[in-house]
Amino acid sequence: MRQLVEKGKIRAGVIAGEMVVSEDEVRNQAVIRKEDLPEYKKHAHLHGIPIGFTEASDKYGINLSSLQRWFKKGIIAEVKRERTIGGEKIYLNEADVAYCAEIYHSRGGKGKWLFDKNGLPYKPKTGPLAM
């Protein structure tokens, strides 16, 4: 709590030597996970189902390099790895891929920031998606 106050994320006061904060401000700082979003919940039935990069790219119409970037950032989770003759094959969590595809296609795809560091849809400070 003290760190949020020091970073200016929530306001606090001191009463009788004790730090006090508004419950509403603390509630507003609650961490939202991508799994809690309606866009993700639509695809929850796919959770844990393995899908390869190429198959995911073809099935969801997403550039392979975008999938790789989201995987490296941790937005798409790995389900398993298999050894192959040429090395290893990584299987992705299909629910994560489907969620990313939905955001990708709804926001116009290429050349745009789509996700923040927590894997949530990026909210620009200006423009039609600003809040």
Give me the pLDDT at residue 57, please: 97
Residue 80: pLDDT over 70: yes
Q: What is the CA radius of gyration of the chain?
A: 19
Give me the pLDDT at residue 4, please: 65
Using DSSP, state whether 12 is helix, strand or coil. strand
pLDDT band, residue 33 (cuts 50/70/90): confident
Q: Each residue of 37-51: pLDDT tens digit? A: 899 999 999 999 999
Distance of alpha carbon 93 from alpha carbon 46, whole angstroms: 8
Q: Each residue of 93-105: pLDDT tens digit? A: 999 999 999 999 9
The H or E element containing residue 106 is helix 94-106
Residue 25: pLDDT over 70: no
